[in-house]
Amino acid sequence: AGRPLVYPTPRGRRLTQADVRRYAAGPGVVVLCGRYEGVDERVLEATGAEQVSIGDYILSGGEVAATVLLDACVRLLPGVMGSGESAVEESFADGLLEYPLYTKPAQWDGRDVPEVLLSGHHAAIARWRRAASETVTQARRPDLWAAYRAGTGQDIPRTAGPCADADRLN
């Protein structure tokens, strides 16, 4: 099979991380970019282009959407991000948004890095990150949270956790 032909359009289905992984694992993609009014429907029908949307808004053309698609794919190619583990814990990797990130110093503007992250206890840090990802996803993306719960068999919604004040995180 050849490279898929992808047409970024607001009429397309939402582009997902699963799509990006599929494109990155394949021989590449060909992106068809419309300008202003788009591409003739007959061309789309004749080529069987995959129509994908990067969001619920309108751009002047497909070039920016193509750049988004390509950036999302290229970063998954071996060696691009250094460690292959870098993409494993990011948003959408397992259906959740990524946990909050903290850097140095341990205290900034009167705000502390959560103590568990300074503990060096890898299992406790992993539990905190998972709980934080769940809390942030539930608060900010109910659609992702519902899909995650359906896929993991969870039946008890989270209402609090290490990031209960999720609106303050960004």
CB environment 34-69: b (16+ within 10 A), e (fewer): beeebbeeeebeeeebbbbebeeeebeebeebbebb
What band does 82 get if pLDDT is binned at 50, 70 and 90? low
Tokens representing 155 are 């039946």
pLDDT computed for residue 120 by the predictor: 94
* Residue 163 pLDDT greater than 60, yes or no: no
pLDDT computed for residue 157 by the predictor: 46
pLDDT computed for residue 37 by the predictor: 83
**Orientation of helix 17-25 relative to helix 63-74, angle to 10°:** 70
Provide φ and ψ at 64, rounded to 5°: -65, -40
Q: Which domains does the chain have, with CATH numbers?
A: 5-74 (3.40.1280.10), 89-168 (1.10.1270.20)
What pTM does this model have? 0.70
Q: Of 164, 161, 142, which Cα lies nearest the Cα of 96?
A: 142
CB environment 136-150: b (16+ within 10 A), e (fewer): bbbbebeebbeebbe
State how far the Cα of 102 lies from the Cα of 153, in Å rounded to an integer. 30
pLDDT in tens, 9-37: 999 999 999 999 999 999 999 999 998 88
pLDDT computed for residue 153 by the predictor: 56
pLDDT in tens, 83-140: 555 555 566 668 898 899 999 999 999 999 999 999 999 999 999 999 999 999 999 9
